[in-house]
Structure 1
Amino acid sequence: MVQPLPDRLRETASQTAGPYVHIGLIPHQAGFDIFETTFSNVLVQPDTAGERIRVEGRVFDGADELVRDVLVEIWQANAAGRYNHPADRQEGKALDASFRGWGRAGSDFETGIWFFETIKPGSVEGRRGHRPMAPHINLWIAARGINIGLPTRLYFADEAEANAADPVLNLIEQRSRRATLIARREEREMPTYVLDIRLQGPQETVFFDV
């Protein structure tokens, strides 16, 4: 006999991503070799088109303490401004077979620094009105203490004109809050863009509800 469902079902228990997120998702960082294909934080290949760059940063909690076991994923367009996904149907923008546009990294257990070697993306058309968006990289952050991954973006400080017209940045009413998404450029052996992420506090990074 089938029992009737109760009027109200209890919410399924949840838990945070840690502390074993590295073993399951980036095992090579934890010293394990368990996957046939390991997706790393290096997105470029020798024939990938575009300017080679490094993006890096650290993550701080609400007490301004360094979070050392963070998982960061990025998703970005190629140098022509097109995503390597069938849903991207922008006309006149070519795919780059040598660039998947997606990567995963963990923060260093000692320094807390996460980083990717990639290319600077081109401008992508927005969904509404096809307005061009400033070059950017989409980030997703997970760590112990976080029940739901936090999506945000990294914009480039040397794209000031494009940033000023970006439809997503302009949704953020407080200009000072927009600055939490702008990565500064440092001239090193490889051009490097640095963006620290703050989970809480007066300088909290802008996260998106997607």
Structure 2
Amino acid sequence: MDYTGEGLSEAQVAPTPWQQARLWVEEAIARSEAQGDVPEPTAISVATVDAAGMPNVRTVLMRFFDDRGPGFVTATVSAKGQEIGATGGIAAALTWPSMFRAIRFRGQAQALTREEVQGYFFSRPWASRISAWASQQSQPVAGRDELEAAYDRYAAQYPDHGNPDDVPVPEFWGGWRVLCDEVEFWGGRRNRLHDRLVFTRTGEGTLDDADSWSLSRRQP
């Protein structure tokens, strides 16, 4: 397959990785709404490594996105939570095949604050808050009946009265932000001569601090 994307040149790229990432995310969301060929535009693949050095990857929804880095929520006792605890390293990728674009983030995981977690948790639909209690994420389960029975128990324990705090935030529920050391923008082009422009951290500033990043190109 020959990719027909516009790619990304040094003359086009924004001054900071945050500005360029925000632009592409906004364009992906807009295209999803207008054309429908970008399903789940904020779905982000998260890669970690366990204590034995084995890699693992899974796709979640990006629930936080600002100049500190992309963030997501999860059960902290899940496989990803345990692996982050073991090494601290993390990588993540946003991919939009129909747009011939992708963004890769690499760095260290930083736990979200409890205030951030609570703020997001209380914005979720009641059923999603119940499922956070019912699912012992990444643990084995005998069958779907067992999972649905757990859901019913917690639904009875925390009935829906229409209030954000009808369901408390589980102690084992939280999330992480990727504190990036590197952000790569991939743009597909014809003849497999794709663009790979990489921002590499050189200072302590945020993703929107131009003085904290250097820009280079990698071969495809």
- Structure with more of its chain in helix, by fraction: 2
TM-score (norm 1): 0.28
Larger relative contact order (CA 8 Å, sep ≥ 6): 2
- Structure with more of its chain in strand, by fraction: 2
